[in-house]
């Protein structure tokens, strides 16, 4: 089961997931083979992986990027994401 909250914040409010640069991707599927969380999907005959389930991605994990030879996977900046999480927590606490 994917987590539904992270640090007390609803997971779907946290924009942490991989982005694939299709200009660099060589369609090797290593990232999908590596990740156990079903974040990626292939659709039909298209060789490109789609980030189909972004909220399945574990917040602050970057592990699949290390499997990517052409360095085609990127993530948001961790400090900015952490700041956003703290801001959302403060908003939620003030409600």
Q: 4 and 11 in contact (C-beta within 8 Å)?
A: yes
Rule CB under 6 A: is residue 14 a binding residue for ligand SF4? no
* Least gap, CB of 95 to ligand SF4 (angstroms): 30
Which among 57, 65, 64, 49 is positioned nearest to 81, based on CA atoms? Answer: 57
* Least gap, CB of 60 to ligand SF4 (angstroms): 8
> Which residues make up the interface to ligand SF4 (CB under 6 A)?
18, 20, 25-31, 34-35, 37, 39, 49, 57-58, 61-64, 67-68, 70, 72-73
């Amino acid at each position: 089961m994917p987590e539904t909250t992270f640090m007390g914040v609803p997971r779907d409010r946290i924009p942490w997931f991989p982005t694939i640069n299709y200009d660099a991707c060589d369609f090797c599927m290593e990232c999908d083979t590596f990740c156990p969380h079903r974040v990626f999907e292939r659709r039909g005959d298209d060789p490109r992986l789609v980030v189909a389930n972004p909220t399945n991605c574990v917040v602050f994990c970057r592990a699949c990027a290390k499997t990517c030879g052409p360095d085609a996977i990127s993530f948001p900046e961790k400090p900015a994401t952490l700041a956003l999480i703290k801001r959302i927590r403060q908003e939620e606490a003030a409600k």
